[in-house]
Every structure is written in structure tokens, then in C-alpha cells.
Structure 1
Amino acid sequence: MPLIDMPMEQLLQYEGTNPRPDDFDAYWESALAEMKSIAAHVELVPASFQVPYATCYELYFTGVRGARIHAKYVRPTHVTGKHPAVIQFHGYSGQSGDWHDKLSLAFMGYSVLAMDCRGQGGRSEDTGGVKGNTLNGHIIRGLDDQPDQLLFRHIFLDAAQLAGIALELPEVDPERVYAMGASQGGALTIACAALEPRIAKLAPVYPFLSDYKRVWQMDLAKDAYQELRSYFRSFDPQHKREDEVFTKLGYIDLQYLAHRIRGQVLFAVGLMDTICPPSTQFAIYNKITAPKRLEIYPDFGHEDLPGFRDMAIQFFHNDSLE
């Protein structure tokens, strides 16, 4: 089998390369306290798109730093009593997608919430206000400011806050709230379940935003990680601040949040992924202590993984990972 990364036996033992800030846990406890102090002011606006068996809403809430965050919300109308919900997260620079791709879950009796990441392709606000470069790249947004100004800190909190809103919806069974997504969506699935551990099940696919220094060492700071190279070329061309930069990025390195997950995890990885290298994903997977199952696609990269979405729906629908 061709390799673009470590052999499988090493991947299964790999514990990551990027430095972890000494105050990482305190950083995230402070972030969660800020999130919980905010009045969300949830607003549901009936959407122009509707179907006979579900009601579609534009959902808005106030996140950290005052940003109004948007999500699509689809609620089934043909079921009685409390029912499960799935939270969906989209890829980097994208948005929550069309309504139609949420309808199969709604027809099955699930509510579906799909968030627009702030400052990307959807309706959520990016309230900005940081020192340093803002031309390109959300990974490096706030890197030259205080650590609590990192943009992905705020996006991770948006994901957790939306999960908390879903858990409190009167029609939703709080014991059956799930999360899923691929690439950045896989990253936010991990962040959501780590920062809101009541998420019962999650199905991340080749998650982004992990083990940044490993990406750099593999010379794969391109495509989704291009901004790492751009940052060094513009602001630290001799890498005199390399340790400082990667340590600060450690605050938004998902491998160090993974141990907080309590729900069951169905995790998919393609071993030919040159966008989010397999080792960066295994750095997350190997730190998950909750019940978990790994689905490996040896010949696939950062692309559709045949059969996995069906697998994920069955996982949500059944009682266990088996």
C-alpha cells in the first residue's frame, strides 16, 4: 500500500508533535465561562423553503464577542414526543448548505441543525477586531494578539453553544443529540463534543485543525494549511518565533481537547489524505478515551468516503458502536 505518512502501526501509537500550552485547560475553562455568561437571544425565523413533513427555520443566536451566529434548523412534524437531533458542521470556507441535504434525517424523525461558521461562506457574523494580519486565513486570525483572540477559539465555542441550544429545545431528547461533519466540519464535531460533553454520539471525518507542527514538518502547509506558510513568510521569515507560534496554535489544536469527549465516536480517515495528514488525525483519535471505532479508507484522500455517511446514520440509529 502506498504511504504518504507513517505506517499503520506507528499511526496507532502516535501522540502528536505540536506543543501544548501549559495553561491549556485554564484557557478553555475561561473560554467556556465567557460563553456561558452570554445571553444567546435565540431567534427562530420560518424559512422560505418548507416541506410537508418538517418545518424549516433560520436560527440565530449571539455568540462570544457579540457575533450573531446563523444555523439552519429543520424540525420534523410527523413525529410525536421528544426525538433525536443531529448537528452538522461544514468544511473550511463553506456554509451550511441547501435545505435538501437535511431532509432525509428529518424524514427519519431527527431534528437537524447546521451552523454557518462565523466569517465564512454563510450568514454568521465575524465581529473581527484583532491585531495583525486579517487578509487570509482563520487559523492565524488573532495569532499576533492575545490567545483569547484566536478566531477558532470563538468558532469552537459557537459549535458548543449551538449544541447547548439544541439540548434545550423542548422537542429534542437531550439524551440523543449527535454531531457530524468532515474536514473543518470534522474538527468542529470534535470541538463541539469536547466542549459540550453531553453530545451522545459523534461522527467526525478526516478532521482539520490538529497537530499544526506535524503538518509543517511534512511540508504539507498548503491547501487548507497554506496560511501557516504565508504567516511565516510574511511575519517570521527566519522562524525565530517558531516555538512561540506553534505553542500559541496549541490552544486551538484539537488533539488536546479530545480527552474531554464523553460520547461514542465513529471516526473516519483516508490514509492518502494530503490535506489533513493521517498522523494529525490519529493524534486526535489516540487521545479519545470515550468508546470509539475507527473506519479506515486505505486508498482515499480528502474526498467522499463511500458508505461512511450511511454508516454514520446507522450508528446514530443503533444503541452501540457495533
Structure 2
Amino acid sequence: MPTIDMSLDELKKYQGTNPKPSDFENYWERALGEMLAVDPEVQMVPSDFQVPFAECYDMYFTGVRGARIHVKYVKPKANKSADTSLPIEKMPAMLQFHGYSMNAGDWSSKLHYAALGYAVFAMDVRGQGGQSEDVGGVVGNTLQGHIIRGLDDHEDNLLFRHIFLDTAQLARIVIGMAEVDEDNVVATGWSQGGALTLACAALEPRIKKAAAVYPFLSDYKRVWDLDLAIDAYSDIRQYFRRFDPQHKREQEVFTKLGYIDIQHLVDRIRGDVLVGIGLMDGICPPSSQFAAYNKITSPKRLEVYPDFGHEDLPGLHDTILQYFKEV
């Protein structure tokens, strides 16, 4: 079998390299407390894009630190009864998270799930390619990407902390909506979206099922040790070159990144999980992904593509659709 990492047998036993901060659990309880104190001030604006079988809305809510977060919401049109005394027929809901630097995508990419009866919510990550706000306000550089944003400030100011909380805030809002079946909310995404899917299911354990494909933001030190802090992880290499060229603070840096390392969050997940991994992935190396997968304690399922990297994985979209239909 071709490999750029460990053998598959070794990968299935690997428990990660990046250190976990000693106060990790308190850190995230404090973060969730901050999130719960925020009034989300949800706003729905009908979109110019509409289809006969669903209603499309630009949805906005307030996340931590006051950022307004944008979501594309596709709501299937229910078969309305003339009897208004009947209860509202509730729908399953799907949360979708996009890849690093991108956005929620076209409206049309959500319609197949809406046609199956899912209310679909696709979130723009703050400060990336969509409409969500990045309100800033950290000490230190903002030249490079989001992984190192806030690394020179207090750990509560790490940008991915806020982004992870946005996913949980969205889930909480959706679960509370009158038209949504609160016991049937699922989440999915690829790459950064895969990481956010797992973070969301960890921070909002009422997520019923999660499908994460080659999840990013896991086991940063392992990525560094493999000399793959390039492309999506290039923030780390550039940080050391500019701010710690002799690596005198290497342990401190990776420990602080441990607060936003999904491998340390996933044991909080209570729903079912499907993870897809390509064993030739040079962007998010397989061992970094297995570091997270191996720590999931809820029911889980692995889809392995031995010859594929960080690319489309044939048949996996269909597999995920069938996986969610089983709910």
C-alpha cells in the first residue's frame, strides 16, 4: 500500500503528539459560558435565490465578541394542513461547514438535502471567504492565517476558539427553532469543515450524527514533525520564522495551540460519527486525523481511501447521504 505516513495498523493505534494544556477542560467550559451569555439576535432575510420546494434565507446571528455570523438557510416547504390546530411538522436539520478560507457555497449545493426534507444551515466562517465578520481585537500579528491568530495574546483570544464557538452557537440556535426536530440535527464538512463538524458535535453534544472528511486543525505538532507545515498549515512555519526563529518557545507554542486542537475535544462527542480519510493526504496528514478519530468514544465509522489525498473521494458524498438517511 502506498504511504506518506504510518501504516494503517499503526494509524489505528496512534494517540497524537501535540500537548494538551493542563486546564483544557476549564478553558472550554469558560468559553461555553461566554457563548451562552451572548444574545444571538437572530435575523432572517429572504434571499433573492428561491426554488419552488424550499424557502431560502440569509440568516445572521451574533457570536462571541460581537461578530455577526452569516448562514445560508434552506427551509423545505412543508405540506401545510388547513387545520391550524395541528402541531407544526418538525424537520431534521443539517449544519454544513466549509473548507479553509472559503465560504458557504452556492444555494444550489444545498438543495439535494432540502429535497430530502432537511432544513440546511451552511455557515460562513468569520473572517474568511463569506459574509461573516471578523471583529479583530487581538495583540500580535494578523499577517498570516487564522491558526496563529491570537497566539501572542491570552489563550481566550485565539481566533479558532471563537470559530469553534460559532459552530456550537449555530447548533444551539437551530436545535431551538420551532420547525426543527431537536433530536435529529446532524453536521458535516470537509477539511476545515470536517474539523468544525467535530468541534460542533463536541461543544454541542445534542448533535445526532456527524460526518467529517479529512479533518483539519488536529495534532499540529505531528504536522510539524512530518515537515508538512506548508499549504494549509503554513501559518505555523511562518510564525516560527518571524517570531521564534530559534524555537526557544516551541513547547509553549504547541501547548497553546493545544487549546484549539480538535483531537483534545472529540471525547466530548455523544452522537454517531463518520470520518473519511485519504491515506495519501499531504495537506492534513493521516496520522493527524487518526489522532482525533482514535479519541472519539461514541459510535464511529471509518471510510479509508488508500490511494487518495486531499481531494474528492469518489462515492463518499453518496455514502454520507445514506449515512444521514439512517437517522
Which category of TM-score, normalised to the shorter sequence, fits these structures?
Answer: over 0.9
8 Å Cα contact 1:79-1:109 kept in structure 2: no
AA of the residue aligned to 1:265: V
Shift of 1:78: 3.8
Instruction: Work out the CA distance in 2 between the residues paired with 1:262 and 1:308.
Output: 23
Q: Which of these residues, 163, 168, 172, is aligned with residue 180 of structure 2?
A: 172
CA deviations over 1:285-308 (Å, ceiling 9, x no partner): 000000000000000000011111
3-state SS of 1:141 partner = coil
3-state SS of 2:195 partner = helix
Q: Which residue of 1 aligns with 2:166?
A: 158
Q: Which residue of 2 aligns with 1:55?
A: 55
Q: Which residue of 2 aligns with 1:275?
A: 283
Q: Which residue of 2 aligns with 1:264?
A: 272
Q: Which residue of 1 aligns with 2:216?
A: 208
Q: Which residue of 2 aligns with 1:15?
A: 15
Q: Which residue of 2 aligns with 1:295?
A: 303
- The answer to whether residue 192 in structure 2 is matched with residue 198 in structure 1 is no
- The answer to whether residue 220 in structure 2 is matched with residue 226 in structure 1 is no
CA deviations over 1:124-165 (Å, ceiling 9, x no partner): 000101111101110000000000000000000000100111
- The answer to whether residue 110 in structure 2 is matched with residue 102 in structure 1 is yes
Report the CA distance shift for 1:312/1:79 in structure 2 as closer, same or farther (over 3 A).
farther
Q: Which residue of 2 aligns with 1:2?
A: 2
CA deviations over 1:175-200 (Å, ceiling 9, x no partner): 11000000000000000000000000
Instruction: Work out the CA distance in 1 between the residues paired with 2:116 and 2:71.
Output: 20
Instruction: Work out the CA distance in 1 between the residues paired with 2:68 and 2:78.
Output: 31
Q: Which residue of 2 aligns with 1:85?
A: 93
3-state SS of 2:164 partner = helix
Q: Which residue of 1 aligns with 2:25?
A: 25
3-state SS of 2:61 partner = strand
3-state SS of 2:138 partner = coil
Instruction: Work out the CA distance in 1 between the residues paired with 2:111 and 2:238.
Output: 40
Give the TM-score taking structure 2 as reference length: 0.97
Q: Which residue of 2 aligns with 1:311?
A: 319
Shift of 1:2: 1.3
- The answer to whether residue 69 in structure 2 is matched with residue 64 in structure 1 is no
- The answer to whether residue 257 in structure 2 is matched with residue 249 in structure 1 is yes
8 Å Cα contact 1:88-1:115 kept in structure 2: yes
3-state SS of 1:75 partner = strand
Q: For structure 1, list consecutive stretches of 5 or more residues without a partner in the other structure.
A: none
Provide runs of 4+ in structure 1 moved above 4 Å: none
Q: For structure 2, list consecutive stretches of 5 or more residues without a partner in the other structure.
A: 81-88
User: Could you say what the CA RMSD is over the residues aligned between the two structures, in angstroms?
Assistant: 0.7
3-state SS of 2:205 partner = coil
Instruction: Work out the CA distance in 2 between the residues paired with 1:175 and 1:79.
Output: 21
Q: Which of these residues, 128, 140, 145, is aligned with residue 148 of structure 2?
A: 140
AA of the residue aligned to 1:101: S
CA deviations over 1:235-287 (Å, ceiling 9, x no partner): 00000000000000000000000000000001100000000000000000000
3-state SS of 2:252 partner = helix
Instruction: Work out the CA distance in 2 between the residues paired with 1:267 and 1:215.
Output: 19
The percentage of aligned residue pairs carrying the same residue is 67
Instruction: Work out the CA distance in 2 between the residues paired with 1:23 and 1:226.
Output: 27
Instruction: Work out the CA distance in 1 between the residues paired with 2:184 and 2:315.
Output: 23
Shift of 1:79: 4.6
3-state SS of 2:287 partner = helix
Instruction: Work out the CA distance in 2 between the residues paired with 1:229 and 1:39.
Output: 38
Instruction: Work out the CA distance in 2 between the residues paired with 1:256 and 1:78.
Output: 40
Report the CA distance shift for 1:241/1:106 in structure 2 as closer, same or farther (over 3 A).
same
Instruction: Work out the CA distance in 2 between the residues paired with 1:255 and 1:82.
Output: 33
Give the TM-score taking structure 1 as reference length: 0.98
Instruction: Work out the CA distance in 1 between the residues paired with 2:76 and 2:45.
Output: 16
AA of the residue aligned to 2:26: A
Instruction: Work out the CA distance in 2 between the residues paired with 1:273 and 1:196.
Output: 29
